[in-house]
Amino acid sequence: MKNIINFCLISAFMVSLSGCQKEQFERADNSTEMSNVEVRFGSKITTRMTNETWETDDHIGIFMVKTGEPLSSESVVNNASNMKYTFSSGNAFEPDTENDRMYYPSKQAVDFIAYYPYRAVTDNQLSFDITRQQNPSSIDLLYSDNLKNISATEKAQVLNFKHKLSKLVFSISPGKDLTEEDLEELSLVIRDVPTSATFNLADAQITTDEESKKDITALVDGNTAQAIVYPGDCGNKEIAVMLLSGEFTFKISSESTWLSGYQYKYALTLDKNINSASIEATISPWEDSGESESLEGSDSEVTVIPWDGQSSDTNWYNSGETTFSLSTPSQLNGLSELVKSGITFEGKTIELVRDINLNNNPFPAIGDETANFFKGTFNGNSHTISGYTPLREAGSKYASLFTVNEGTISNVIISGVINVDNTADFSIIAGGIAGQNKGTIDGCRSYVKMNVTSTLSISKESYIYVGGIVGANHNVISNCQNYGSIQAEHSNTNEADTYMGGIAGVMINGKIESCENNQNLTGSGDYVMAGGICGACDDQNVAVSEVESGIVSCSNYGDITVEEAKTRAYAAGIVGNICDLLKITSCINKGNVSSSTSSATANAFAGGVVARGGECKIYGSYNSGKIKVANSGKASSAYGGGIIGYMSANSEVHTSTHAIEALVESTGSCGGIAGFEDYTVDTHYVYGCCSNLGSPQKWIGNAEGSSYKAGVTLTEHTDEE
């Protein structure tokens, strides 16, 4: 269901690292004498969404319980627990399958409880996550309990749904010394809010997971930003508006609360050179109409430390010292000069002591492109470098804050824009923090929006590496998040490669752990490899059983799209293409994945975790997104899987789950766990300790046999995890 702004409800990651998965719930044996009168729900099922209509394939869950009794396994009538009803083209909700069809009891009345969107239910509770603000149609939690004491009737019942979460709307205007153009490419971030919670269907209560607090990025349309949050105390909650020219922050008034079913409208006027932002706020019911009332004024402040684009300060450096503090843009520019001169800061520590505003002036990368790389420790202390855009000299392939990191970079927050339009015959390496990482990057966040294009037709060896944190990773990235959208296009008639990832474009003998991508990736070109965490992994140098490298405990919430690739299209929630020796453990995809081509000589791959994998092992991972792969030139050359699209060369899938709301669609091979197993190469296995609750029911798309589990290895085995 789509709204003026859509919201999405995403079920939380629930998967065991060993052993087989169980069914989503068990129904009690509480059979009641039933009539032959079917329960029908009319086409006027209403919500309180503004200008809202239901869409085909919207799914709701319905419980039929004994009148006057709270929802429980004992009160459910005739096993009518979490029955799935789907909005059809006939403008009504119909049972999704025959097993979902409900009939009234013969001699007693019933109540109905319903919710949207449909999810797995455990102990009458929904688990969900509001991180995916950029695709929010399914975090708008709706609940209905208006149908009480209903006896058998041919009359269609009307469910009255109400919003259970809170909606925030920010209208942003330029004030003194700012123009409408200054607001282009703005981002708005709500700091430190819970993102995971459970909803009790019995009493409609929400319990947030306070350990899930993190920043969420609002959905921006022009000068308006909208978000959905859990109800609760929001006193002193910080909101950050990031412009190319700097960052503005303000705090919600200290005694404010976000209430269930209400929307909060904040009008924010930004003045460039003063320490306050003008804020007006109103509250109204989240419905088609309703009176608004004023809220108390909000405390606010704006951080403005503009750089003139030229000044440089190296006076802070003393070769005899080992620790340095930077507080101005000119000092940061001085660091760039020092590293380029051959001072690598090996054994030394640099700390940011306040936010730095580069004011959208092109900033020279820290380090050169050949030998003078940063080798020290750079601690951002959770300060923000805002207004970043790279200064690229003629012939430069790097577009990043650091060219190559051979030291440790930690706790840096960066916002800005990287726009690269390459028409020369050389490669591009772009990253929010570094072009290449050969050291350690930990605890960094990037809000950098990237748009990288390359149009040339000379050398196949030219490539694009673009990642939210780094272009290419050769060592360790941990605890990092990307909030910046990424677009890449490589139009090269000689089949050049494009690697793009929310964290790293490509990984070669490295490790990515506890990282998140929270924004959309879109790629096109010839060979395009896109993943929510990493575009491709290649040349891992050790045996799988000994691998220290890999991708561990990472999550993707963005939509991953590869559009009309000419030769190969790889798109996945975690890794697009694995060529050699990689282990993926405890990773989650909640984004939608799409891969397409129109060439009869091309192939398209898409997977919830991996699009195509050779010599890879997947453990304890999870997909709840919608996977779509198409080849309009040759339909059969498309491979889509809930966990992995195409399995090759000694690959294995263990203890992984394709969730109940997940869906795979393909013009070719299509499976709930694996789209295709290449039986012409060495052994590979999908193990029975996985769980396929979504669609399609068949686990392996090209496996022979009528059984849903045809081709699945069901023998007991000892997992290595």
Supply the pLDDT for residue 91.
60
Same domain, 218 and 252: yes
Of 250, 279, 303, which closes a domain? 303
Same domain, 148 and 181: no
Supply the pLDDT for residue 472.
96
| Sheet bearing 166-174, strands edge to edge | 219-221, 224-229, 166-174, 262-270, 278-285, 293-294
CA dist 678 and 15 (Å) reads: 27
Same domain, 20 and 156: yes
Of 163, 192, 222, which closes a domain? 163
How many CA atoms lie within 13 Å of 263's alpha carbon, on the beta-carbon side? 22
Same domain, 6 and 114: yes
Q: Average pLDDT by consecutive 10-residue portion of the chain (721 residues)?
A: 31 34 38 86 55 74 95 94 86 87 94 94 93 82 93 90 91 88 90 95 95 93 94 89 84 83 87 58 60 41 67 94 94 97 97 91 94 96 92 87 98 94 82 97 96 72 90 96 92 76 95 95 94 87 51 96 93 94 93 95 97 93 97 96 93 95 96 91 86 96 92 79 51
SS3 string of 483-498? Answer: CCCEEEEEECCCCCEE
Instruction: Assign 540 to helix, strand or coil.
Output: coil
Give the CATH number of the domain where residue 277 resides. Answer: 2.60.40.2630
Same domain, 129 and 21: yes
Local structure of residue 27 (DSSP, 8 states): -
Q: For residue 203, is it within any domain?
A: yes
Q: For residue 317, is it within any domain?
A: no
CA dist 642 and 687 (Å) reads: 14
Give the CATH number of the domain where residue 42 resides. Answer: 2.60.40
If one counts every other C-beta atom within 10 angstroms of the C-beta of residue 102, the result is 21
Q: For residue 325, is it within any domain?
A: no
Same domain, 87 and 195: no
- Please provide the distance, in angstroms rounded to a whole number, between the alpha carbons at the two ends of the chain: 39
Supply the pLDDT for residue 459.
54
CA dist 391 and 240 (Å) reads: 26
Residue with token string 């001072």: 343
Cβ density class 364-374: b for 16+ within 10 Å, e for less: bbbbbbeebbb
Supply the pLDDT for residue 299.
43
Q: For residue 425, is it within any domain?
A: no
Q: Tell which phi-psi region holds residue 411, choosing left (phi > 0), alpha (psi between -120 and 50) or beta.
A: left
Instruction: Assign 425 to helix, strand or coil.
Output: coil
| Phi and psi, residue 545, nearest 5° | -65, -20
Instruction: Assign 100 to helix, strand or coil.
Output: helix
Per the structure, the complete domain to which residue 241 belongs is given by 164-303
Q: For residue 632, is it within any domain?
A: no
Q: For residue 553, is it within any domain?
A: no
The secondary structure element, H or E, covering residue 340 is: helix 329-340
Q: For residue 675, is it within any domain?
A: no
Provide CB contacts within 8 A for 443, sequence distance 6+: 382, 410, 411, 478, 479, 480
Supply the pLDDT for residue 134.
79
Instruction: Assign 361 to helix, strand or coil.
Output: coil
If one counts every other C-beta atom within 10 angstroms of the C-beta of residue 318, the result is 8
Provide CB contacts within 8 A for 29, sequence distance 6+: none
How would you class 271 by CB atoms within 10 Å of its CB: exposed for 0-12, middle for 13-18, buried for 19 or more?
middle
Total domains present in the chain: 2
CA dist 483 and 519 (Å) reads: 5
CA dist 190 and 235 (Å) reads: 13
Supply the pLDDT for residue 4.
29
Of 115, 135, 163, which closes a domain? 163
Of 218, 255, 262, nearest to 240 by C-alpha is 218
Cβ density class 534-565: b for 16+ within 10 Å, e for less: bbbbbebeeebeebebbbbbbbbbbbbbbbbb
Supply the pLDDT for residue 5.
28
Same domain, 149 and 176: no
Of 271, 276, 274, nearest to 243 by C-alpha is 271
Same domain, 169 and 245: yes
pTM listed for this prediction:
0.83
CA dist 713 and 715 (Å) reads: 6
Same domain, 74 and 198: no
Angle in degrees, CA 5, 233, 289, rounded to 5: 40
Cβ density class 287-312: b for 16+ within 10 Å, e for less: eeeeeeeebeebebebbbbbbeeeeb
Same domain, 127 and 172: no
Contact (Cβ atoms closer than 8 angstroms) between residue 387 and residue 358 = yes
Q: Tell which phi-psi region holds residue 11, choosing left (phi > 0), alpha (psi between -120 and 50) or beta.
A: beta
The secondary structure element, H or E, covering residue 143 is: strand 142-144
Same domain, 141 and 222: no
Same domain, 65 and 206: no
Q: For residue 24, is it within any domain?
A: yes
